[in-house]
Chain A
Amino acid sequence: TQLLEQSPQFLSIQEGENLTVYCNSSSVFSSLQWYRQEPGEGPVLLVTVVTGGEVKKLKRLTFQFGDARKDSSLHITAAQPGDTGLYLCAGSGAGSYQLTFGKGTKLSVIP
């Protein structure tokens, strides 16, 4: 069974601060995705990373896939209230179309 551990579970910060969310596993994943979920809605994909060491940027969000493809991080620069939400990482094993989700990091950005 592949497990993904996310940390921290909860994060409350002031607007303009930087933050990093972590997603760790003892298993190797062929790809890893980050989703954001807002209250009352389903998760929406932010990014997919597939290569060890890969870094992708989406405006103020920077995503990194670990060299061994067992972990990932999401860094937000100068957080905005609009960044508030539940951030989920999800991994896919080789040849699998199923996703294993972490439990999520609930981010609150205070104006």
Chain B
Amino acid sequence: DAGITQSPRYKITETGRQVTLMCHQTWSHSYMFWYRQDLGHGLRLIYYSAAADITDKGEVPDGYVVSRSKTENFPLTLESATRSQTSVYFCASSVGRQGGNEQFFGPGTRLTVL
């Protein structure tokens, strides 16, 4: 019923800590995406997934890890957070090519790395 949700909505962490951002969608969409949004850069793709257990790198994957054991979940982990990873992170899902490429976005997680 909720569509696509992200948690937490806000996170403050320290340099070097591991952080996991959660993303859950209820539509059973095949495709899921992680973006970061920064002033002056727009939305940049970090990782994407075409289906459970299938993931691939996007434009800015360094320092991030993803997994997709279930279709509905697509967590993003920062293995050792750095200040340059301070950003707003958006998760999105999509039916895929046959259904058009419309992407549905979650509300975002604002991450601050001190």
Contact = CB atoms under 8 A, between A and B. Distances in A.
Interface of A: 31, 33, 40-45, 48, 88, 90, 92, 95-99, 101-104
Contacts, number: 54
A42 B90 contact: yes
A93 B79 CA distance: 32
A77 to B, nearest CB: 25
Given A33-B101, A48-B102, A97-B96, A42 B107 contact: yes
Contacts of A99: 45, 101, 103
Given A40-B108, A43-B43, A101-B43, 4 more contacts: A41-B108, A45-B102, A48-B100, A104-B42
Nearest to B108: A42
20 contacts: A33-B102, A40-B107, A41-B108, A42-B92, A42-B105, A42-B107, A43-B43, A43-B90, A45-B104, A96-B101, A97-B31, A97-B50, A97-B97, A97-B101, A98-B45, A98-B48, A99-B101, A101-B35, A101-B44, A102-B42
Q: What class of interface size applies to chain B in its complex with A?
A: 20 to 34
Per DSSP, are chain A's interface residues mostly helix, strand or loop, or mixed? loop
A98 B60 CA distance: 14
Nearest to A101: B43
Given A33-B101, A33-B102, A88 B42 contact: yes
